[in-house]
Chain A
Amino acid sequence: MLVKSELFMHATHHRQALFSQAMVYCCDIIIIIIIIIIIITHTHGQPHARLLRRRMPRHKLIASESDVSIEVDEGKDKESCVYYVEVEENCERGKIKQASRDGKRRRERNGETRRKASEKRTNEGESKKAEKKHEKGHRTARKAGEKHGKRQRRKNAGEEDAEDKSSKEKKNMKNEKNKTLKLEEEKEKDVRKKKRKHVKNEEDETNHEKTKQHLKEEKRRKKRKKPETTSESESKSESESASESESKNSPAVGVLGSLTPEELENLKEAVEERKKLITQLKGKPWPMRRKLVVLRESQEFVEKYEGALGKGKGRKLYAYKVMMMKKWMKFQRDFENFKTACIPWEMKIKEIESHFGSSVASYFIFLRWMYGINMILFGLTFGLVMVPEALMGKPYGSLPRKTVPREEEASAMNFAVLWDFGGYAKYSVLFYGYYNSQRAIGWLKFRMPLSYFLVGVGTVAYSYMVVIRTMARNANEEGGGDDTSFNFSWKTFTSWDYLIGNPETADNKFASITTSFKEAIVEEQESRKDDNIHLTRFLRVLANFLVLCCLAGSGYLIYFVVRRSQKFALEGLENYGWWERNEVNMVMSLLGMFCPMLFDVISTLENYHPRIALQWQLGRIFALFLGNLYTFIIALMDAIQLKRAEEEIVKKNMTIWQANLYNGTVPDNSTAPPLTVHPADVPRGPCWETMVGQEFVRLIISDTMTTYITLLIGDFMRAVLVRFLNNCWCWDLEYGFPSYSEFDVSGNVLGLIFNQGMIWMGAFYAPCLPALNLLRLHVSMYLQCWAVMCCNVPQERVFKASGSNNFYMAMLLVILFLSTLPAIYTIVSIPPSFDCGPFSGKPRMFDVIQETLETDFPAWFSKVFSYASNPGLVLPFLLLLVLAIYYLQSTSKTYKRVNMELKKKLQAQNEENKKKNKLAALKAASDLEQARKAGEQRRNSISDLGVNEENPESHVSSSHTSRPPASRGHTSSGHLPGHPQQPQKNSKKR
């Protein structure tokens, strides 16, 4: 199917439908031919005639039933252009031969002039270029020629019976029945035949010769084509064979109605081959001009013969299929165009790429990829959770969980509170607590709690899927890269980054390539010895120790700060200033900012190779971030426990408060409607879920802010200072100490990854997180692009991006896993708050699934589900999964081993081949030597003989002065009349 889909794109479907009908009513063809003739003659001379001709469905209409093959002989000079037309009608078999005879005769008549033209061509057609041009001209002229030919034909016919013809035209326009037309056509032909017979009799003999000459000409042309192709790659031979098959098939197609099934099969195959060729054309290493020519040819071929395939009803179906294929292809191409048009920031990234090489650009591509993922996450949460709740859920103020409590009302609109995501922001769709536990909302009966749960699960599942799929694709793209046998070759041929378009980066790249070569040479010459291995070992241990201390210290600091903040929170945040409220986030951000610098300083102790140093650095930063995140989570867990204890108290108080309420006002009457208390006054629990969501949102906000501020201060201000203070400073700031900053790819990627991890963790409790993240990524795309272009300098050590790509992906996967762990833990093991969120009132959050199964599905379904979920079935299933994983893993291991073995074998074989070749070369050399000696001896003897007959002086001059002795072995052997055999054999051996 795929192959079929590579059809000509521009044909329209009107014509296609028409075409299918034309296949059925084969008699109508004649009418159409005549109409075409009329139209062509009418349109000739109009400005758009060329275009129109291109769009004409001639091939389909004519070629489907009656084959009109036109050949155009165009000499170099236009004066000698001669066209002739060959018409083959296949409605009745008898006509075919007649028509071909007609064509032959016509050809013969035109033979004289054509021969002149072809002779000219042979004189000039020696060079390739001329040949190519001719080919092209041939093709373009073919269309013109067709038209001309038809006109000529019409003229011929019209000379005798112009009246007849005009009446025929009129009848055509009136849609006369075709039988009469057929009769007329036959008449016409008879007349023509007679006329031609006269001509034939006159110049019979000479013409025969000429046709023969013409055939020879054709053959010669074909032969000339061939050497041209052999110099190219093998792929060309494919097209050659295709074109040959075309030439084979073309006469057969003319008599399509009577084709045998095998021939039809062949034709079908040829068409399929052509289609395949069209799809693969992009990948052919040909110049564009040739590609275009081949494309046009094969499109014409396909268009011409495709419609002729199939039989009877199948024919109609086939035509329909072809049409649908065409449309589908067109749609696919348009969709592809649309898709690439939708990829944002292409030009920005390109610019960065050309300035900083592929590694910096890889960060931005990663950022864009991340943006795409977050777009999907945002779509899910926004479309399925936030919007339905906002539109169909109960409005603000209708429930206690949807109103700001009385004591907070005064400050609920203050900017400081809102910035902290308290007040009105807290009691909105942005957070978990706002959602009602009503099972179905609105007129759509939207299952809100279920949707909330499924979206939470779906975002994580989608992220897993995307990350793993991308990793797999990256792994596929990386060929076996660990092979070190081509070290120098790779360095030579792949080290230049063709993306670089900036002189400064190019300078750096040149320098780094030079150093890498020098390093490799030194390594090759001698395995490097460390002068003081103990010192470096000690330093490395020390460095790692220091790093560990840093990590532990930062972890403790965060834990301490979080505990302190809980204390503050218990006492009430109003008594404290800004620092106390934002302490946790600030400390985390500052640690994330300064610790990497510290690590960088420490890593100078270690004296690693830069690439290894980079990996260590990345690993350390990763550990730091991870530690920070997990201390944060542990502290949060503590906070959750505290909140839950608080909740218990509130629950108790609640019952007392309710009892008081009822007791005080309506002492006895239980049937009376409950008292209306304003929802703001109802006491409520602390709602730990909203608290968690708020924490994450604050963390994201502060993280974003610190990123932007460090960007502005660390990069922009530094660049400004360096630039403008440089004029009045005692040393060179630009090349001296502060200099401009480099873009820190690894740090930025890590920041992005951890940011994403926090989104994954917090998105369940704060549905607004993906939206916030989207905003952040969008802004940072522009901000960072700007910052990179205006205040960073290209890296001195230019690293390649490709190797680390999957490394980043792997980190992302790890983070994803680590961030889903706590989220799953909280969902599964902690009961939801009793008075807020979509799951309030249920013992566990996932009970919503159970509930849906019980109420929304038929009874048998829940029964089946309960059977399926009992441990007796689940455990074997899990076991099966584990077994499958084990099996797959072991097979992949064996594959790997086999791969390695094959590689080894290949290498061994290569070496063996090398040895063999060397031996063969040696042998050949010795043979050659022998042959040369032998040849020399013989020549000497011959020349001696010759000398004996002539004078001795000429011998000396011929053997020594005329030819250099070294080349004699090759050249002289052929010249010698008597003894050519032996030296030739030797040279063949070689």
Chain B
Amino acid sequence: MSHCSLLCQFFISEISAGIRLQCTVCHGTARMGNKQTIFTSQQLDAYQDCTYFTRKEILRLFHRYRDLAPQLVPLDYTNEPDVRLPYELIGSMPELKDNPFRQRIAEVFSEDGQGNMTLDDFLDMFSVMSEMAPRDLKAYYAFKIYDFNNDDFICKSDLEKTLNKLTRNELTEDEVRMVCEKVIDEADLDNDGRLSLEDFQHMILRAPDFLSTFHIRI
């Protein structure tokens, strides 16, 4: 008896799963009247687990990504195509266009380190920059962004670059040097003449408006 019911249940559940499968794959947005599948529900769930976005936001971000180069990015991401958008396109987004650190941001978040981004990188970037991301995560990526030469330390040359980008080279060399010295003097705890990740976190996590300024709303 129990076997019977078990088997029946199994078949029913299989069949219903099959039916549901047909129904639930359509998680794209309806455009021009016909439904378009962009992600499977598994993909969407995975993205929701890995980012701070909701389903709607993920879809919106996808469309933002696609709008950068509609001819390159397919509308069907169910088989995870390997598409990269060049930095020139990413950097021209209105959210990044006026940011002095846009190139660094793109480089840090892109997998190849050149600023060319896949959709995953793109989502990752805006997830970290979103309001929901915690301080620690933001601090980690901020450190990476300000670490221009990728040596895991913010040294004087990095600081000079940061300052010049922030002020558009309007400070004199002496002033820049002085500010760099002051920064290192303030934040360098282990006194090796450069800021390690710990130094940076120690400093930045106390900053009153780090959280409010280090985020991009999209």
Q: Is B a genuine binding partner of A?
A: yes
Report A's interface with B, CB cutoff 8 A.
9-10, 12, 14-15, 17-18, 21-22, 25, 28, 31-32, 35, 39, 48, 51-52, 54-55, 175, 177-178, 233, 278, 281-285, 287-289, 291-292, 295-296, 333, 336-337, 340-341, 349-350, 353-354, 358, 477-481, 483, 485-503, 505-506, 510, 513-514, 517-518, 521, 524, 800-803, 910, 913-914, 917-918, 921
Residues from chain A with a CB closer than 8 A to the CB of B20 are 12
* Residues of chain B with a CB closer than 8 A to A287's CB: 111, 120-121, 124
Please determine whether A917 and B25 come into contact, CB atoms closer than 8 angstroms. Answer: no
CB < 8 Å: which of B42, B168, B171, B191 contacts A54?
A: B42
Nearest chain B CB to A380's CB is how many angstroms away?
29
Asked if B183 contacts A288 (CB within 8 A), the reply is no
Q: With A283-B137, A350-B217 given, can you name 4 additional A-B contacts, CB distance below 8 Å?
A: A18-B13, A177-B3, A479-B206, A803-B208
- Say whether B94 faces chain A, with CB atoms less than 8 Å apart: yes
Could you show 26 A-B contacts with beta carbons less than 8 Å apart?
A: A14-B13, A18-B6, A18-B9, A31-B7, A52-B21, A55-B17, A55-B21, A175-B3, A282-B133, A354-B95, A481-B206, A481-B207, A487-B182, A488-B183, A492-B159, A496-B101, A498-B215, A499-B217, A501-B95, A510-B166, A510-B167, A513-B167, A517-B179, A521-B178, A521-B179, A913-B191
State in angstroms the CA–CA spacing of A821 and B21 once bound together.
Answer: 61
Q: Are A489 and B213 in contact (CB under 8 A)?
A: no
Selected contact of B137 from candidates A18, A285, A918, CB within 8 Å: A285
Contacts of A498 in B (CB 8 A): 99, 129, 213-216
- B162: CB under 8 A from chain A? yes
Binds A, one of B44-52, B69-77, B83-91: B44-52
Q: Known contacts being A178-B3, A285-B137, is A492 close to B179, with CB within 8 Å?
A: yes
A452: min CB distance to chain B, Å:
40
- Closest Cβ–Cβ distance, residue B37 to chain A (whole Å): 11
Q: Measured between alpha carbons, how far is A869 from B9 in the docked complex, in Å?
A: 63
Supposing A283-B137, A514-B170, A803-B209 touch, asked if A48 and B21 sit within 8 A by C-beta, the answer is: yes
A202–B168 Cα distance when bound, in Å, is: 78
User: B17, B96, B127: which contacts A282 (Cβ < 8 A)?
Assistant: B127
Instruction: Name the interface residues of B1-35: CB closer than 8 Å to any CB of A.
Output: 2-4, 6-7, 9-10, 12-14, 16-18, 20-21, 25
- In this complex, how many residues of chain B approach chain A with their Cβ under 8 Å: the count is 89
Cross-chain contact B212 with A14 (CB below 8 angstroms): no
Shortest distance from the beta carbon of B155 to any chain A beta carbon, whole Å = 13
Question: Which of the residues A496, A518, A802 comes within 8 Å of B171, measured between beta carbons?
Answer: A518
Please name all residues of chain A whose beta carbon is closer than 8 Å to the beta carbon of B151 when the two chains form the complex: none
A910 to B94 Cα, complex, angstroms: 42
Cβ contacts under 8 Å, B97 to chain A = 501, 503
Alpha-carbon distance A278/B45, docked complex (angstroms): 12
CB distance from B135 to the nearest CB of A (A): 8
Residues of chain A within 8 A (CB-CB) of B141 are 285
CB atoms of A486 and B186 under 8 A apart = yes
How far apart are the CA atoms of A287 and B144 in the complex, in Å? Answer: 13
Query: Contacts of A513 on B, CB cut-off 8 Å?
Result: 166-167
> 4 closest pairs, A vs B, by CB?
A481-B208, A288-B120, A14-B13, A506-B98
Inside 8 A of A288's CB, which chain B residues have their CB?
A: 50-51, 120-121, 123-124
Does B55 belong to the interface (CB within 8 Å)?
yes
- Taking CB atoms, residues of chain A closer than 8 Å to B54 are 336-337, 340-341
CB distance from A19 to the nearest CB of B (A): 10
CB neighbours of B98 from chain A (8 A):
500-503, 505-506
Instruction: Contact check, A283 vs B136: say whether CB atoms are below 8 A apart.
Output: yes
Contacts of A233 in B (CB 8 A): 140
Q: How far is the CB of A338 from chain B (nearest CB, A)?
A: 9
A281 to B163 CA separation, bound complex (whole angstroms) = 34
Please measure, in the bound complex, the distance between the C-alpha atom of A133 and the C-alpha atom of B146, giving whole angstroms: 30
Chain B residue at smallest Cβ distance from A918: B191
A54 to B203, CA, bound (A): 46
Q: Which residue of A lies closest to B184 (CB)?
A: A489
- Docked-complex contact B203 and A489, CB < 8 angstroms: yes
Residues of B within 8 A of A488 (CB): 179, 182-183, 186
User: A14 and B17 in contact (CB under 8 A), knowing A291-B50, A496-B99?
Assistant: yes
Measured in the bound complex, the distance between the Cα atoms of B186 and A756 in whole Å is 44
Looking at the assembled complex, report how far the CB atom of A476 sits from the nearest CB atom of chain B, in whole angstroms: 12
Task: Name the B residues within 8 Å of A282 (CB-CB).
Answer: 49-52, 127, 133
A295 pairs with B49, CB closer than 8 A = yes
Complex CA–CA separation, A499 to B99 (angstroms): 9
Residues of A within 8 Å of B203, CB to CB, are 486, 489-490, 493
B57 within 8 Å of A (CB atoms): yes
In the assembled complex, the Cα of A340 lies from the Cα of B166 at a distance in Å of: 34
B41 at the interface (CB under 8 A from A): yes
Q: A282-B127, A340-B54 are in contact. Are A496 and B9 (CB under 8 A)?
A: no
A517 touches B171 (CB 8 A): yes
B63 CB within 8 Å of chain A:
no
Known: A496-B101, A500-B98, A917-B190. A10 touches B3 (CB 8 A): no
Q: Which of B117-167 contact A (CB under 8 A)?
A: 120-121, 123-124, 127, 129, 133-134, 136-137, 140-142, 146, 159, 162-163, 166-167
Interface: B100 (CB within 8 A): yes
- With a cutoff of 8 Å between Cβ atoms, the chain A residues found around residue B17 in the complex are 12, 14-15, 55
Chain B's nearest CB lies how many Å from the CB of A294?
A: 9
**Residues from chain B with Cβ under 8 Å of A349 in the complex:** 217
Q: Which of A17, A514, A802 contacts B211 (CB 8 A)?
A: A802
Evaluate contact between A494 and B209: CB separation under 8 angstroms. Answer: yes
A12: B residues at CB distance < 8 A: 13, 16-17, 20
Contact B7 A175 (CB under 8 A): yes
Tell me if A489 and B187 are in contact (CB < 8 A).
yes
Q: Are A25 and B2 in contact (CB under 8 A)?
A: yes
Q: A295 to chain B: which residues have CB within 8 Å?
A: 46, 49-50
A362 and chain B: residue at smallest CB distance: B212
Set of chain B residues within 8 Å of A284, measured between Cβ atoms = 137
Contacts known (A18-B10, A498-B129); A492 close to B4, Cβ less than 8 A: no
Let me know if B189 is at the binding interface, CB within 8 A. yes
B146 partner residues in chain A, CB cutoff 8 A: 493
Q: How many whole Å from B44's CB to the nearest CB in chain A?
A: 10
Nearest A residue to B171 via CB reads: A517
Chain B residue nearest in CB terms to A496: B166
Within 8 Å CB of B48, what residues of A? 333
Complex Cα distance A285/B138, Å? 9
Is there an interface contact between A14 and B211, defined as CB atoms closer than 8 Å?
A: no
| Complex Cα–Cα for A39 and B14 (A) | 10
Report A-chain residues with C-beta under 8 Å of the C-beta of B212: 358, 800-802
**Is B213 touching A494 in the complex (CB atoms < 8 A)?**
yes
CA distance A15 to B20 in the complex (A): 13
Bound-state CA distance A48–B20 (Å) is 13
| A197, B213: Cα distance in complex, Å | 71
Q: List the B side residues contacting A291 at CB < 8 Å.
A: 50, 124
Q: Do residues A340 and B57 form an inter-chain contact, with CB atoms below 8 A?
A: yes
Q: Tell me the smallest distance from the CB of A335 to a CB of chain B, in Å.
A: 10
